């Protein structure tokens, strides 16, 4: 728990606002973010990298609310996007297109057009076929597309297999052994301009060494290219720095940044990073209310009004999120399975949590700012949660709770 979420007389607060007041005003389930926590995380990054030319491209997939994108844009951030939809979001949030990098293995022609029209900083290209398509689309538009290749350095990120991306067997990036050949091909294409190199090895990394191993491998290629006359302007080392959910001990932002700067010492390329989770993860919680307590023979269930559609990480990755009572009670705690109302056994938010609960109690699922709302769905025709940003003593509704009418507005009954 960061100090932006803290207890005052047994009541859990976000900055100076009681979470109970937010639940009262906006209902539950509800995501709550701390503006100070977001700002603080971004500033730590920017300060730690200030010694060299850099661009911090917030990874939009981790949390794409316009208010959060706008906040980062005003702090000076660029953005890492993976779809045309995310591009439209960052532009709507006031971001400068020339601070956007576009990652992803499956960019469509329409997405390429959108990005070329907007004038993004760089396409992170992930295959030979994508180079061909981008060259063709840029040619049709009379434009030159700035590109880097996403190289797969084949290092083990030592993280959950679903979020590890830098191994040979992953679908991401260009095989290390093929990278130079493809760079030579790209350098000869009429409508592309080779500007950088990119790699991203996975998410929720809790050690520095894989990042450095990846950087070192990539730099060998950068030097080889320079030797052949292809001089790169930037180096994008991706995102992936982990956060503390439970008892993990990830490096601090400063330690991580220091290590990257060390690996790049004496080099002139601009450094790009694509952090997501570390900027937003611990800046948000998911507020939920206990609907029913259901004692069982073997386990006691606390059925809450948030579910796997609101926060998918436990069901999908068996991920741990701490669960804190919004009002600490002196009553005796017991072990609960904290579950949602969805008709799936996988719909759980926490196993065997020691809590003192009553029907109606409020709970906060901690560290839910990253890959929470952005991965939510409407399964079981559940409207998506509201989102609130706390700023000091103020609470701002930054996304209204969805209505059921919105959910089926586009559907048609046939004759």
* In the complex, minimum distance from the CB of residue 106 to ligand LLP, in angstroms, rounded to a whole number: 13
Q: Which of 78, 64, 77, 137 is nearest to 107 (CA)?
A: 137
Q: Is 30 a catalytic residue?
A: no
Kindly state whether residue 239 participates in binding ligand LLP, applying the rule CB under 6 A.
yes
Kindly state whether residue 163 participates in binding ligand LLP, applying the rule CB under 6 A.
yes
Nearer to ligand LLP (CB atom), residue 63 or residue 361: 63
Contacts made by residues 396-402, CB under 8 angstroms, sequence distance 24+: 396/67, 397/26, 398/33, 398/65, 398/66, 398/67, 398/68, 399/65, 399/67, 399/373, 401/26, 401/27, 401/30, 402/378
Kindly state whether residue 62 participates in binding ligand LLP, applying the rule CB under 6 A.
yes
* In the complex, minimum distance from the CB of residue 45 to ligand LLP, in angstroms, rounded to a whole number: 11
Nearer to ligand LLP (CB atom), residue 364 or residue 373: 373
Residues 6+ apart with CB under 8 A from 337: 299, 300, 301, 302, 348, 350, 351, 352, 353
Q: Which of 69, 168, 156, 128 is nearest to 389 (CA)?
A: 69
> β-strand 394-399 against 323-325: which pairing, if any?
unpaired
Among 83, 152, 203, 376, the residue binding ligand LLP under the rule CB under 6 A is 203
Kindly state whether residue 200 participates in binding ligand LLP, applying the rule CB under 6 A.
yes
How many residues touch ligand LLP (CB under 6 A)? 22
Site string for ligand LLP, 67-106 (x = CB under 6 A): -------------x----------------------x---
Residue 163, CB half-sphere, CA atoms under 13 Å: how many? 19
Cis ω on the peptide bond leading into residue 29 (within 30° of 0)?
Answer: yes
CB distance 41 to 257 below 8 Å: no
Among 146, 238, 251, 340, the residue binding ligand LLP under the rule CB under 6 A is 238
Residues 6+ apart with CB under 8 A from 133: 107, 109, 112
Site string for ligand LLP, 99-138 (x = CB under 6 A): ----x-----------------------------------
> β-strand 284-294 against 362-365: which pairing, if any?
antiparallel
Nearer to ligand LLP (CB atom), residue 263 or residue 362: 263
Which residues, numbered 302-361, are part of the site for ligand LLP (CB under 6 A)? Answer: 313, 317
In sequence order, what DSSP letters do the residues of 358-389 get, joined into one string?
Answer: -TT-EEEE-S-SSSSGGG---TTTPPPPEEEE
Nearer to ligand LLP (CB atom), residue 80 or residue 391: 80
The stretch among 27-35, 129-137, 237-245, 294-302 that binds ligand LLP (CB under 6 A) is: 237-245
Nearer to ligand LLP (CB atom), residue 34 or residue 367: 367
Kindly state whether residue 277 participates in binding ligand LLP, applying the rule CB under 6 A.
yes
CA-atom Rg of the chain in angstroms: 23
The residues that touch ligand LLP, with contacts defined as CB under 6 A, are 59, 62, 80, 103, 163, 200, 203-204, 238-241, 274-278, 313, 317, 370-371, 375
Catalytic positions, please?
A: 343
């Amino acid at each position: 728990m960061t100090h932006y979420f803290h207890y005052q007389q047994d009541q859990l607060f976000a900055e100076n606002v009681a979470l109970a007041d937010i639940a009262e005003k906006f209902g539950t389930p509800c995501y709550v973010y701390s503006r100070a926590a977001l700002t603080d995380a971004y500033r730590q990054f920017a300060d730690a990298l200030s010694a060299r030319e850099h661009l911090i491209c917030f990874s939009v997939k981790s949390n794409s609310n316009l208010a959060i994108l706008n906040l980062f844009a005003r702090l000076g951030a660029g953005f890492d996007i993976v779809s045309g939809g995310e591009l439209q979001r960052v532009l709507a949030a006031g971001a400068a297109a020339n601070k956007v990098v576009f990652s992803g293995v499956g960019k469509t022609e329409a997405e390429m057009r959108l990005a070329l029209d907007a004038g993004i900083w760089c396409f992170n290209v992930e295959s030979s076929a994508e180079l061909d398509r981008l060259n063709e689309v840029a040619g049709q538009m009379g434009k030159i597309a700035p590109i880097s290749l996403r190289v797969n350095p084949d290092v083990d990120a030592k993280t959950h297999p679903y979020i590890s991306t830098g191994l040979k067997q992953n679908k991401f990036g260009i095989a290390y052994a093929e990278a130079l050949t493809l760079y030579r091909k790209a350098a000869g294409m009429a409508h592309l301009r080779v500007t950088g190199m990119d790699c991203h090895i996975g998410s929720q990394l809790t050690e520095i060494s894989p990042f450095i191993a990846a950087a070192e491998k990539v730099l060998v290629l950068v030097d080889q290219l320079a030797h052949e006359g292809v001089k790169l302007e930037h180096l994008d080392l991706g995102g992936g720095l982990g956060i503390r959910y439970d008892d993990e001990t990830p490096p601090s932002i400063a330690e991580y940044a220091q290590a990257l700067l060390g690996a790049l010492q004496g080099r002139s390329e601009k450094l790009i990073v694509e952090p997501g989770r570390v900027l937003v993860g611990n800046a948000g919680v998911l507020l939920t209310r206990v609907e029913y307590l259901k004692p069982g023979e073997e386990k006691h269930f606390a059925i809450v009004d948030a579910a796997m559609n609101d926060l998918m990480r436990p069901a999908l990755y068996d991920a741990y999120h701490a669960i804190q009572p919004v009002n600490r009670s002196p009553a005796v705690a017991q072990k609960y399975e904290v579950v949602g109302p969805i008709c799936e056994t996988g719909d759980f938010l926490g196993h065997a949590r020691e809590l003192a609960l009553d029907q109606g109690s409020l709970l906060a699922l901690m560290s839910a700012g990253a890959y929470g709302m952005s991965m939510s769905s409407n399964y079981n025709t559940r409207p998506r949660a509201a989102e609130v940003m706390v700023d000091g003593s103020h609470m701002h509704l930054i996304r209204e709770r969805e209505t059921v009418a919105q959910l089926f507005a586009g559907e048609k009954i046939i004759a």
